[in-house]
Copies of this chain bind each other. A is one copy, B any other.
Amino acid sequence: MASTNLTFANTAEHRAWLGTQSKLPGGFSVGTTAFAFTPVEAPKPSRMTLTLLKLDEPTSDFAAMFTQNAFPGAPVIIGRERLGVPSLGAVIINNKVSNVCAPRGVESAEAVCAALGAQLGLEPSQVLPSSTGVIGWQIPTAAMIAALPAAAASLQADTILPAAEGIMTTDLYPKIRSVQIGLGRIVGIVKGAGMVEPNLATMLGFILTDIAIPREVLRALLRDAVGTSFNRISIDSDTSTSDTVALISSGKITGIDPVEFATGLRQVCQDLAEDVVRNGEGVRHVIRVSLSGAPDDAFATRLGRAIVNAPLFKCAVAGNDPNVGRLVQAIGRHLGHNAPAFDVSGTRITIGGLLIFNDGIFNLDPAKEIALTDHFRAAELYASAPDAGGVFHAPVDYPPHEKSVEIGIHLGDGPGAATVLGGDLTHEYVTENADYRS
């Protein structure tokens, strides 16, 4: 096992800032509990946190979006069914085991829902299960059921912070974002696309609001917000077997304009998405690709994702090397394969605002290269250096700034645009994902 220290140790400033974000909307309470268990597939004991999100009253106004992976986890299979039930009263989330393609996965998750429902006076179908962790392992059903009373006993209605911490696997810090709209609030938490430790996976997001928005409107607005946030980030693979984003309204606050709500929701989702990237596995530079002039937004989004997933360009960014050839290569690779008829003659590319390519020709000189390197350096989140044992550690503090490597790509005269975020490819990424237990 890599000796990377992923202990939660964020700064006082960060914790104070989280406090400003974490106030629960009306109508919700949050509880967590943790316990030890031993997976049947592995010899050594592990520790699981159960996180309970409870509504004061069941609500019909909830929305959820799930992974497109062809091997979805049991909670995703159940969650898709839950979209059809009249009302939802609670969400029960576990980390450590994602319950994907494991024997009796759906029955086990339903058993936990039924036990929680019996305890809270809800139908089993009013409980949404959600899991993250090792793919392929079975959840410890009996131990989870035994732990439910402790989770319920810890319910409180002040802060979402325990839930933001409870859903973490190897995230470096809890991720909470909120907006206040009149008397209403939207508060979201997320756990990272950072598969920061071997075997752990999945992005989970839960967004709670007391603003009354009808179910179908809520679902349309979530689709819209996810489309311009979580669907425009990529660390290394955009679809785990468990990805879930849920949005639940308690309906306590009425009279808020849905357009205001939509704007606030989009902001919360975009901020959380950027938090995920900034806390991505071994990420030392956030890369923001702003695309315009594309035939449509989807075209721009696909190209942006191809760029932030191009390993050679990601390595160059890691090294503060403004290797513009690799950027143009990645663009040309994607377009050549996916849009061979697209006219590339109008492509203009900037890095940090500096024009580096237009009219089919590079626009380079030694002075510009120095300026580009400075731009990359300024966006670095931490310095990279191995310890005495040759192991690269990612620091555990909250990021010191929110700067990014800024890539601008103007493709032509089309109306399509997108902003896509990703990270660089570093030694810390390899350390955290190549399990040196051998």
Residues of A at under 8 Å CB distance from B? 41-43, 67-72, 98, 100-103, 134-136, 195, 198-199, 201, 236-241, 310-312, 315-316, 318-321, 323-326, 328-337, 339-340, 342, 344, 357, 360-362, 364-366, 373, 376-377, 385-386, 390, 425-427, 429-431, 433-438
Closest B residue by C-beta to A311: B236
Tell me whether B324 and A238 are in contact (CB under 8 A).
no
**Chain B residues within 8 Å of A377, by CB:** 438
Chain B nearest CB, measured from A152 CB (Å):
31
Docked CA distance A319–B432 (Å): 10
Chain B nearest CB, measured from A97 CB (Å):
11
**Chain B residues within 8 Å of A195, by CB:** 312
Closest B residue by C-beta to A368: B41
**Chain B residues within 8 Å of A430, by CB:** 315, 318, 425-427, 429-430
Closest B residue by C-beta to A357: B101
Residues A344 and B70 in contact in the complex (CB < 8 Å), given A312-B237, A325-B134, A337-B239: yes
Tell me whether A136 and B364 are in contact (CB under 8 A).
yes
Tell me whether A102 and B362 are in contact (CB under 8 A).
yes
Sample of 9 more A-B contacts, CB < 8 Å, known A236-B312, A373-B438, A426-B430: A41-B364, A70-B340, A198-B321, A239-B332, A315-B429, A316-B435, A318-B430, A323-B435, A386-B386
Of the candidates A366, A385, A426, A433, the one having the most CB atoms from chain B within 10 angstroms of its own CB is: A433
Residues A342 and B70 in contact in the complex (CB < 8 Å), given A319-B438, A361-B102: yes
Tell me whether B241 and A332 are in contact (CB under 8 A).
yes
Docked CA distance A85–B175 (Å): 62
